[in-house]
Amino acid sequence: MDTLFLERLSLRSVIGVHAWERAFAQHLELDLALSVDTHAAAASDALDDAVDYAALSEQLVRLAAEADCQLIETLAARLADAVLINPAIRQVEVVLRKPGALPAARSVGVTLVRSQAEVP
């Protein structure tokens, strides 16, 4: 299995448990590691045989913008579920960061791994 990755995709979302956090969309950063078989795409050099990471990133940006979650875990799980709609993606590792959430830390966040076996 091969890995296709996206690093530091910039998202904006209403997220947090405190009223002051929920007053505006906050900046988040998303990393994805997608387990895919790239043999067909490498052989054909055709986007139809590959995961369209531009379309996927647009979808995730839109999903985050429309979300209204209290917990970063909830949003990360929703993003993972959206990725796994594509059956060509066998597994996804999601790293979702919330920069500036704690004054003494660069960011806080969550890493989760989901696979096609967990798709409802």
Catalogue the active-site residues: 98
Q: Kindly list the strands in the beta sheet with 107-115, ordered across the sheet, starting from the edge strand earlier in the chain.
A: 68-69, 2-15, 26-36, 91-99, 107-115
How far is residue 101's CA from residue 59's CA, in Å, rounded to a whole number? 25
Tell me if 26 sits within 8 A of 14, measured CB to CB: yes
Can you spell out the DSSP letters for 12-40? EEEE-SSTTGGGSPEEEEEEEEEEE--HH
How far is residue 35's CA from residue 92's CA, in Å, rounded to a whole number? 6
